[in-house]
Amino acid sequence: MPDPSSPRVRLLVSVRDAAEAALARDHGADLIDAKDPDRGALGALLPETVRAIVAASGDRLTSAVAGEPQDGAQATACLAALAGTGVRYLKIAWAPGREVAGLTLPAGIPVIAVLFAEDGPEGADVPALAEAGFSGAMIDTRGKDGRRLTDHVALPRLAAFVAACRSHGLLSGLAGSLTLDDIPVLAALGPGYLGFRGGLCAAADRKGRLDPARIAEGARRLAAVVPRSEAA
C-alpha cells in the first residue's frame, strides 16, 4: 500500500473493461480503477470483468468500486462480491456519520471509503473512518451533471480533509468530474490520488471511451507538480 505520507500525487483512471485498462496502463495511469460509468458514480462491474481488468493492468495498482450500499450489512455483501477478483483496493460509498453496525471489511484487502461531496464531508469525518478499519478515504461527486468537486466543496475544506487523512494514516483521494486544469490546484493539497473518468474521455463524456492523449497529458501534468516536501 502506498505510504499516505508520501508527497507524490498519483493518477487514478477509472476504466470499464480490459481494453481500457490496457490503454490506461500504457499511457501513464498509476492506479487503474474498475467502474461501470453507466451505473452512476460508483457502479460496480461484474466480478469476471474486474478480473479481466486486473489481468490487463500489468504492474499497475488496481481498485474496484463496490457500489453504493445503504448500510453496513449491504456494504459487507458488496465488498465480499469483489473480494476474490485480485484487485489491490476496494472502494465503497460511505455516508458521513453512518453507523458501522453490520460492516465487516474483507480480510487482506484495503478498503477506501468514498464520501460524496454533496453530503458535505470534512476532515472531522476521518477519525471515525479510521476507527472503522478503512484504509483510505476519498471524496467524489454523486451527481454527474457537469458540476465539479470544487463546485461542492471549497478548497480549504478539501485541504483539511486531506490533512486529516494524512494524520490518521489513511490514503486520500479527490475526484468528481475533474478536468486536467484542476490538477495543479488540487495536487497542491497533497492527496494520494486524483481520480478521473470524464476528464480523460473524448468530448469529456464519462460514458464514452478513454482518450489516450488525455491520459498521457494528465500523467505529464501530475509529474510536473512540485511535491509538498520540496515546496515547503
Q: One of 35, 60, 98, 142 is an active-site residue; which one?
A: 35
State yes or no: pLDDT of 231 exceeds 50: no
Residue 128 has which C-alpha cell?
Answer: 471515525
The reported pLDDT for the residue numbered 5 is 65
Q: Which has the higher per-residue pLDDT, 227 or 82? A: 82
**pLDDT tens by residue, 30-54:** 999 999 999 988 999 999 999 999 9
Residue 230 has pLDDT above 70, yes or no: no
- The residue-averaged pLDDT of 186-205 equals 94
pLDDT of 229 strictly over 90: no
Has 91 been annotated as catalytic? Answer: yes
Q: Is the pTM of this model over 0.75?
A: yes
Identify the band that residue 162 occupies on the pLDDT scale cut at 50, 70 and 90.
Answer: very high
Can you read off the three cell numbers belonging to residue 200? Answer: 480523460
- Helix ranges (H only) for the chain are 18-26, 47-56, 72-82, 126-132, 149-152, 155-167, 183-187, 212-223, 228-231
Active site residue 144: no
Which residues neighbour 164 within 8 Å (Cβ) at sequence distance 6 or greater? Answer: 123, 124, 126, 127
CATH of domain 10-221: 3.20.20.380
Q: How far, CA to CA in Å, does 175 sit from each of 1, 49, 150, 151, 168?
A: 20, 23, 10, 12, 20
Cell numbers of 86, please?
485480485
47 vs 164: CA distance, rounded Å? 33
How far, in Å, CA of 58 to CA of 75, rounded?
28
Q: How far apart are CA 189 and CA 111, in angstroms?
A: 22
88-98 per-position pLDDT tens digit: 999 999 999 89
Instruction: Catalytic residue, from 91, 98, 142, 152: name it.
Output: 91
Q: How far apart are CA 113 and CA 91, in angstroms?
A: 6
- Model pLDDT for residues 139-155, shown as the tens digit of each residue: 999 987 878 999 999 99
Domains of the chain, by residue range, sit at 10-221
